Amino acid sequence: MRVIAGSAKGRKLQTLEGMDVRPTTDKVKEAIFSSIQFDLYDATVLDLFAGSGQMGIEALSRGAEQAVFVDLSAKSLQVTRSNIAAVQMQGKAMCYQADGRDFLKTDRNLYHIVLLDPPYHKGLIEEVLPLLSDRVLEGGQVVCEHETELSLPERVGKLRIKKKYRYGKIHVTVYIKEEEVMQDE
């Protein structure tokens, strides 16, 4: 696993071992970042269900200002911190050991981009999308990597689907937060 573009291009990253680990492939990662590349510069990114942190690190490498990494697993966060240090981006990264749902219930930060790649078949995307509606800035995006058979709703709160992609057994659904329209009284 490696960083594929930006200031840390080519740097190798550690990954976790085990049957529950499913790192994003380079092909899918490249496609995701190609779709959001113009929105990354100076962005604040949330890498929820961070795993090894590779997606948030890729965002930092490509120009994001700050990335927040959240994962319930202490082992995952240990690998994430090690990877952040390996690419020398400690000053732009914050790590939290927490359940993603609980984190969103207490976090008051707003994000330009949220990267979601939770464990499959656990209903986590469906649970966190409503919580993200108020954590994403207007025009911000939520990128969901998920199993093929998961059908996500067209709208969730102020989020609406912008684009869907399919890469073999992996689907990526990108939501955008619509601007609020002022109503005349």
In this predicted model, which residue has the larger pLDDT, 9 or 175?
Answer: 175
pTM beyond 0.85: yes
Query: Is the separation of the CB atoms in 89 and 8 below 8 Å?
Result: yes
Q: Which of 28, 29, 41 is nearest to 5 (CA)?
A: 29
Beta-bridge mates of residue 173: 144, 164
Structure tokens at 161: 């689907």
Per DSSP, 178 falls in state P
For the chain, counts of helices (H) and of strands (E): 5, 8
The pLDDT of residue 185 = 43
Residue ranges and CATH numbers for the domains of the chain are: 26-177 (3.40.50.150)
**pLDDT at 91 > cutoff 80:** yes
pLDDT in tens, 6-38: 888 878 888 877 545 567 778 888 889 988 989
Model pLDDT for residues 48-66, shown as the tens digit of each residue: 999 999 999 999 999 999 9
pLDDT for 105 equals: 93
Q: Is residue 67's pLDDT more than 50?
A: yes
Q: How far is CA 138 from the centre of its chain?
A: 17
pLDDT digits over 105-117, tens only? 999 999 999 999 9
Q: Is 74 exposed, middle or buried (0-12, 13-18, 19+ CB in 10 A)?
A: exposed
pLDDT of amino acid 155: 95
